[in-house]
């Protein structure tokens, strides 16, 4: 009888300890506008780094740089337009 009482108290204590452990609340998800703004910032940062690489290239001629910048601007404008449509 004493063993049964001890085992019941032990089992009850363990079950209460397990039920008391809760998971932390999930972090809030960003809104659609926040996601679009984050993507826009990443796109601008990527554009600026690529622009800097093109303009500072030692072997490219002015015509090559002009063509590459035109292609980069077109691609950037298209991606920016897509992000604006997502808002």
Query: Each residue's pLDDT tens digit in the chain (87 positions)?
Result: 777 767 776 666 766 655 556 777 778 888 889 999 999 999 999 999 999 999 999 999 999 999 999 999 999 999 999 999 987
- Please spell the DSSP secondary structure of 67-83, one letter per residue: HHHHHHHHHHHHHHHHH
pTM of the model: 0.65
Distance CA 23, CA 57 (A): 53
Q: What are phi and psi of 27, to 5 degrees?
A: -65, 150
What is the Cα 18 distance to its own chain's centre?
34
């Amino acid at each position: 009888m004493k063993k049964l009482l001890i085992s019941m108290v032990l089992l009850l204590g363990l079950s209460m300890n397990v039920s008391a452990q809760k998971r932390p609340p999930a972090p809030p998800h960003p809104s659609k506008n926040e996601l679009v703004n984050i993507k826009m910032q990443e796109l601008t940062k990527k554009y600026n780094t690529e622009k800097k690489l093109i303009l500072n290239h030692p072997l490219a001629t002015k015509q090559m740089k002009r063509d590459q910048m035109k292609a980069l601007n077109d691609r950037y404008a298209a991606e920016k337009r897509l992000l604006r449509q997502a808002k």
